[in-house]
Amino acid sequence: MRSTAHQRDDAAAWDVARPERPSRVAGVTMAGFGVRSLTALRMVPHPGLTLVLEFGAGQPIVDDAAGRQQRGSLVAGLGFGFGGAVRARGENVVCVQVRLSPLIARAVLGASAADLQGAAVSLEDLWGREAARIREQLGEVSSWQDRFALTDAFLARRSEEGPALDPEVAWAWDRIVTGRGLVRIDSLAAELGWSRKRLWSRFRSQIGMQPKLAAKLVRFDHAAHRLVAGEGAARVAADGGYADQSHLHRDVVAFTGVTPTTVAGEPWLTVDDTAWPATKHPPKTRHERLRDR
């Protein structure tokens, strides 16, 4: 499926494609993008890793807060863009973008979410010549569905060869995600029969951030998409587990560097209902189901 999304700030058109069927690899979703002109796009933190496989005439360029620059295909770690200082730009960019659960990052990428520590690295640094081969193969096929199939087969082969995370850490991550970040970390540790310190240590060594910060990131992600959908900040704060609207405001500014009002129009998020439609209407929480009765 192909469609066109528009940046709200300058009406620049993005050609967006979606696979016709889900990935065979659990924890993988993808979309295709063709962008004529990408100008200082703010990268918004996401509770997953981002793999960008470019194969067009131009290259995406990512500038981070420390002044480092990445060109071409890359991998961005969990929560990349924290603080709102990371920007992407480029002309005539065509790419397959893959979102990866941190649970399968090591198997697919050869590097864990903890290895990346929320930063972006060149795909060539991770995969060597394999990065050039996949770029060449993507450029040789003419349809988006063929590109998705090629990418999916490639990721499936890699995932079969790589190691898995500790099942307890995977369980804790899944509980955080399915609970929209509204979980108590002490309760997760108790259910595992672990101490709080042990859970924090294992989780951070494999996921790359403390479980409490992971929960905040997941909660922020859901709140941000509801703001984009046009819901009021007060309602989003009340339903999203924030103490009040000021609490939501502080978290949004911490993650993005801008206010909730500005986040509601961020192109990185507004394109999601086209590229990643599952994020537009996530399942309701128990609180929301009771409220809507």
Residue 284: pLDDT over 70: no
Boundary residue ending a domain (108, 133, 161): 161
Question: For position 238, what pLDDT does the model report?
Answer: 95
Predicted confidence (pLDDT) per residue in 204-213, tens digit? 999 999 999 9
In this structure, what CATH number is given to the domain that contains residue 280? 1.10.10.60
Do residue 126 and residue 224 come from a single domain? Answer: no
CA atoms within 13 A on the CB side of 176: 30
Domain range enclosing 257: 167-292
By DSSP bridging, strand 61-63 and strand 69-71 are antiparallel
- The CA distance from 145 to 149, in Å, is 6
The single-letter DSSP state of residue 277 is G
Which is nearest to 168 in space by CA: 195, 141, 137, 140? 195
- pTM to 2 decimals? 0.89
> Which has the closest alpha carbon to 49: 92, 1, 107?
107
Q: Which pLDDT band holds residue 79 (cuts at 50, 70, 90)?
A: very high
pLDDT digit string, tens, across residues 129-143: 999 999 999 999 999
DSSP letter, residue 226 = H
User: Could you report the per-residue pLDDT of 169-228, keeping only the tens digit for each?
Assistant: 999 999 999 999 999 999 999 999 999 999 999 999 999 999 999 999 999 999 999 999
Q: 150 and 176 share a domain?
A: no
> How many DSSP H helices and E strands does the chain contain?
15, 9
Could you tell me which residues come within 8 angstroms of residue 173 by beta carbon, excluding any fewer than 6 positions away?
A: 101, 102, 103, 203, 207, 214
- Number of folded domains in the chain? 2
> Can you give the pLDDT at residue 2?
58
Q: Do 98 and 22 fall into the same domain?
A: yes
Answer whether residue 242 shows pLDDT above 60. yes
Q: What is the per-residue pLDDT for 156?
A: 94
* CA count, 13 A, side-chain hemisphere, 170: 13
Same domain, 59 and 151: yes
Model confidence at 239: pLDDT above 70: yes
Q: How far is 50 from 161, CA to CA, in rounded Å?
A: 20
Cβ pair 96, 151 in contact under 8 A: yes
- pLDDT band with cut points at 50, 70 and 90 for residue 163: confident
Shared-domain flag, residues 143 and 22: yes
